[in-house]
């Protein structure tokens, strides 16, 4: 008796990408169960991502409430005085160079260069992801600064110029969003887990150094930096997981393959 012919998979028989995280796989499969089209599935995922960002903003609100207490202000000031006492001429120069890596000018230039490269090499979803992550992070930071309106510290004389309010740190947010997203995108193209771990470790070190530079230079309290890390990490995670969602649901939109060549890590990378 002839065996029944198996129904071909959507998308030309391509193997569907399964995320490494069990929680993420479960989330995608839950969305898959209750949606039928590609855009509806991505829309539901983005709605869940919005909830993550709102939750991060709620954590920031709790931190902002705590920093108004004498205890929190005392901790912030103590750390700043310790950093001021640890200053040296060479370390001042190093921190000035490091903090520039989180400035709007450097972030904008890196976005332009990396985004152009990704677009021209047909990694267009990656280019869009990077643009949304960086620009969205900047908008979020400005909104939060004007909402919380925390004055900048005056514990010692600043070693660099700064404008606007203090909470959360824009440099910390920029660092997490830009370098975290770049580490994710680069990691998708690297052939081994070891290389991906090295890339992520380097990005994490750079992010932490940029964050440290802000209170060292006197323009932010440590809690400003922590808040910037939190909102930046939440936003970058949502953006990066957006690519994972596209990879998971791409069978519903097979023509995506013609636009984005590296949606599957094991596929040949377009050059």
Q: Angle at CA 204, nearest 5°, toward 198 and 208?
A: 145
Does 211 have pLDDT greater than 70? Answer: yes
* Element spanning 89, H or E: helix 89-100
List the Cα angle 255/236/216 in 5-degree steps.
155
Contact 266, 81 (CB under 8 A): no
Locate the domains of the chain by residue range.
Answer: 37-259
Whole-number Å distance between alpha carbons of 182 and 188 = 10
Rounded to whole angstroms, the Cα distance separating 225 from 66 reads 15
Structure tokens at 183: 């580490």
Distance of CA 163 to the CA centre of its chain: 23
Average pLDDT, the chain: 81
Geometric angle at alpha carbon 149, from 145 and 151, rounded to 5°: 110
Cα dihedral 76→79→80→81 (10° resolution): 120
pLDDT at position 219: 93
Nearest Cα to 265, choosing from 176, 149, 187, 180? 187
Compare 258 and 189 and report the one with higher pLDDT: 189
Residues in the chain: 271
When mean pLDDT is compared across 9-18, 93-102, 189-198, the lowest value belongs to 9-18
Please tell me what DSSP assigns to residue 11.
T
What percent of the chain has a predicted confidence (pLDDT) above 90? 39
What global pTM score does this model have? 0.80
Span 39-77, pLDDT tens digits: 677 777 778 878 888 888 888 888 888 988 888 889 999
Angle between helices 170-189 and 104-120 (to 10 degrees): 20
Residue found by looking up tokens 């910037």 in the block? 228
Beta strands in 123-198 (DSSP E): none
Domain 37-259 has CATH 2.30.29: no
**Best CA proximity match to 101, nearest among 110, 112, 114:** 110
Which of 69, 99, 67 minimizes the C-alpha distance to 223? 67
H-helix or E-strand spanning residue 147? helix 124-148
Which pLDDT belongs to residue 60?
Answer: 84
């Amino acid at each position: 008796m002839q065996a029944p012919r198996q129904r071909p998979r959507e998308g030309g028989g391509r193997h569907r990408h399964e995320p490494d995280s069990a929680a993420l796989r479960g989330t995608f499969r839950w969305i898959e169960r209750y949606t039928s089209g590609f855009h509806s599935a991505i829309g539901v995922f983005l709605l869940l991502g919005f909830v993550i960002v709102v939750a991060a903003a709620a954590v920031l609100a709790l931190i902002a409430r705590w920093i108004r207490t004498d205890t929190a202000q005392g901790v912030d000031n103590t750390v700043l005085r310790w950093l001021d006492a640890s200053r040296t001429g060479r370390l001042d120069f190093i921190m000035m160079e490091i903090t520039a890596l989180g400035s709007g000018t450097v972030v904008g230039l890196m976005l332009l260069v990396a985004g152009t490269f990704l677009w021209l090499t047909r990694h267009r979803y990656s280019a869009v992801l990077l643009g949304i992550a960086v620009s969205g992070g900047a908008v979020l930071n400005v909104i939060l600064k004007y909402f919380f309106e925390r004055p900048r510290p005056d514990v010692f004389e600043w070693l660099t110029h700064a404008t606007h309010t203090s909470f959360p740190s824009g440099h910390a947010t920029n660092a997490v969003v830009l370098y975290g997203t770049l580490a994710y995108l680069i990691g998708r193209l690297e052939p081994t887990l070891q290389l991906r771990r090295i890339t992520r470790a380097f990005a994490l070190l750079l992010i932490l150094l940029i964050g440290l530079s802000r209170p060292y230079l006197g323009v932010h309290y440590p809690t400003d930096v922590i808040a910037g890390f939190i909102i930046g990490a939440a936003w970058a995670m949502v953006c990066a997981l957006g690519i994972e969602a596209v990879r998971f649901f791409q069978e519903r939109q097979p023509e995506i393959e013609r636009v984005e060549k590296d949606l599957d890590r094991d596929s040949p990378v377009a050059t």
